Amino acid sequence: MMTRPVLLLIPGALRKGSFNRLLLAEAARAFGEAEVIEADLDLPLYDGDLEEAGGVPDKVQALVAQIRGADAVVIGAPEYNKGISGVLKNALDWVSRVPDGAFRDKPVVVVSAAAGRTGGEAAQFMTLACLTPFQPRLMPGPMVLIADAMNAFDAEGRLRDETSRSLLAERMARLRAAVA
């Protein structure tokens, strides 16, 4: 269909040096030619009073517009205490407040990088569970779990492990096929 699809990267961490951000950059390279956009989840905490007083904040509306405009989405889920990051959950909660489901039928892949030995597996499963109400098109493929994240990337931000690179490539090829 399209020659240059829009790929939205959603890092579930705010810090600049986030390993999940590095992993998303690797995912984008594996996805291939695309207009790559990165979401900013630095949003106010969801607060029903804030919403009632001023509606859904502009930054959330901008995020929703990015999701709507994307042909494919990759979420990088950090693991905090065996769960989804508050930053990511907060963003999902806000997005859910905007009618007409931005994620509905959207091709989505979740990947994770974490310090621990499981590579954020618990957070990744929890993210998939939290996405359920949004009814995205979760793309199948091998799970991408980057363990020992601080040693997993080289100085150029490339994944060192060949197996991880090939699993990511397979996953991204399937995402790419979904928008072709």
Ligand X SMILES: Cc1cc2nc3c(=O)[nH]c(=O)nc-3n(C[C@H](O)[C@H](O)[C@H](O)COP(=O)(O)O)c2cc1C
Q: For residue 122, what is the enclosing H or E element?
A: helix 121-131
Q: Which is nearer to ligand X, 19 or 103 (CB)?
A: 19
- Residue closest to ligand X when measured from CB atoms: 116
Half-sphere exposure of 110 (CA within 13 A, CB side): 23
Nearer to ligand X, 102 or 109 (CB): 109
Q: Least CB distance from residue 15 to ligand X, whole Å?
A: 5
Those residues with Cβ within 8 angstroms of residue 137's Cβ, 6 or more apart along the chain or in another chain: 105, 106, 107, 108, 178
3-state class (DSSP) for residue 11: strand
Length of the chain: 180
Task: Give min distance, CB of 129 to ligand X, in A.
Answer: 16
Which residues in this chain contact ligand X in the complex, by CB under 6 A? 13, 15, 18-20, 78-82, 114-116, 120, 149
Smaller CB separation from ligand X, 34 or 145: 145
Query: Which of residues 102 and 144 has its CB atom nearest to ligand X in the complex?
Result: 144
Shortest reach from residue 138's CB to ligand X, in Å? 21
CA-CA distance, 63 to 99, in Å (whole number)? 13
